[in-house]
Structure 1
Amino acid sequence: MERRSMLQGGAAAAFGALAITAITSSRSLGEAAQAYPGLLPAPDATPVPNPGRPHCAVTHAPLPDPATTPVPNPPFPCDLTRTERQHLETFDELDFVVFSHAEWGRLSESHAKNIRVHWPDGHYTDGLDKHIEDLKALFAWAPDISIESHPLRVAKNELTAVTGVAHGTFSRPMPDGKGGFIQPTGKKFSINFCTVGIWNRKGTMDEEFLFWDNLTWYQQIGLA
């Protein structure tokens, strides 16, 4: 089955599990996240040498919940191709700098102009301008929102899957979509999320899938 048609036709949650499984080359997510085995380069790609990590056999313990217990960024997976590593580096820059500092003029460094973005509630948008508009809407009611870590980072060919934690405070009125506003509660949030990206040959994402638990988010900010 052709991968893109499969991605577009499946349910969002099922795709998330399937994409991560594919990226980690049939190993469990825990094994891939900690030891990063099995991330083989494409046949025509050149692996990036990593003298500091001569092999991937690493003893590890399960991760805590990154939303409540800070987890430092792990090393990049070993034996990535140059392109795979570049995708992950671009994504780190996207979350830690571009998104966290609302540098919307730089979003084109990681997103194609006609990008399709799939949101956790199942809807999707087309185009970079619309995506920037949606991201700005988050900062309207949580201007301090930021992403500081990526506990899991895996890449295989044109696919990446990265988890992170979004922190912020519901400190300003939130538009309710009906012309009114929901008054801020002053409550802080710390939400686990996962982003799966499909990258093109220009080094930007053609498609992005966003996953987080909206109910948990609403509960944390006092709206559920």
Structure 2
Amino acid sequence: MKKRIIKSVALKLMTVGLLGAAVSCSTPAADTSKYEDEIAALKEQLKEVAENNAVVATNLKTFDTLDFEVYSNQEWKRLHESHAEDILVHYPDGHTTTGIEDHIKELAPMFVFAPDTRIEEHPVKVGAGNLTAVTGVLQGTFTAPMPIGGGKFIQPTGKAFKIPMCTVGLWNDEGVMYEEYLFWDNQAFMKQIGLAE
């Protein structure tokens, strides 16, 4: 989509430029001035598109680092590289948290019963303006006891999980997300680790 926008603006610039050149060959120079404003406006549009694309590319690169390194290696002290201190996070079951510390409390427990939890790829990555969306595969193996509260545990099944996930992020001008939406299928997850049918 971004490439189409750039091509469209570039095509307009070339068309206006060619028209201006053709008119300047057949009419007095004073008549071409009406094209100068349009050319300037199109150049400004092209500049804005390029700047937006650069910001989106930077945010997507930051998100790759978040999932592949920070999350997968539990480097929670680095979460501020991609998350605002007061980030609002929406989870698949509908609840939310506010702030990095509460977000870590939601993420860290999975590593207790599945220490090899990781995300290694983002097959789809898109963005526009201050919004990015990525898909990935959340995977790991249920190899350690799962705490369920009150000093009780579910013993590991040894089963692996591999579930699709999607994250939508809204980014501020400092290059960190101030709001994040997480999507995956909890029922599919429970089935894969042997805790549901």
Cα offset, 1:194, TM superposition: 0.3
Equivalence for 1:47: 50
Q: Deviations over 1:114-158 (max 9, x none)?
A: 001100000011110011121111111111011111010000000
Could you list the runs of 5+ residues in structure 2 that have no partner in the other structure?
10-43
Q: 2:144 aligns with which of 169, 172, 176?
A: 172
Q: Distance in 1 between matches of 2:79 and 2:176?
A: 10
Q: Distance in 1 between matches of 2:186 and 2:96?
A: 16
SS at match of 2:127: strand
Equivalence for 1:190: 162
| AA at the equivalent of 1:103 | E
Larger radius of gyration: 2
Q: 1:117 aligns with which of 65, 89, 100?
A: 89
Cα offset, 1:91, TM superposition: 0.3
| Distance of aligned partners of 1:98 and 1:130 in 2 relative to their CA distance in 1, 3 Å threshold | same
| AA at the equivalent of 2:111 | F
Q: Distance in 2 between matches of 1:38 and 1:213?
A: 33
| AA at the equivalent of 2:138 | A
Could you list the runs of 5+ residues in structure 1 that have no partner in the other structure?
1-23, 25-35, 49-79
What is the CA RMSD across the aligned residues, in angstroms? 2.1
Equivalence for 1:144: 116
| Distance of aligned partners of 1:39 and 1:137 in 2 relative to their CA distance in 1, 3 Å threshold | farther
TM-score (norm: length of structure 1): 0.66
Q: Deviations over 1:90-110 (max 9, x none)?
A: 000001111111111111000
TM-score (norm: length of structure 2): 0.75
| AA at the equivalent of 1:223 | L
| AA at the equivalent of 2:117 | I
Task: Determine which structure has the larger strand proportion and give its number.
Answer: 2
Equivalence for 2:131: 159
Q: Deviations over 1:42-68 (max 9, x none)?
A: 9563517xxxxxxxxxxxxxxxxxxxx
Q: Which moved more, 1:210-219 or 1:176-185?
A: 176-185
Q: Distance in 1 between matches of 2:151 and 2:183?
A: 27
| AA at the equivalent of 1:213 | D
Cα offset, 1:179, TM superposition: 3.7
Equivalence for 1:131: 103
Task: Determine which structure has the larger helix proportion and give its number.
Answer: 2
SS at match of 1:175: strand
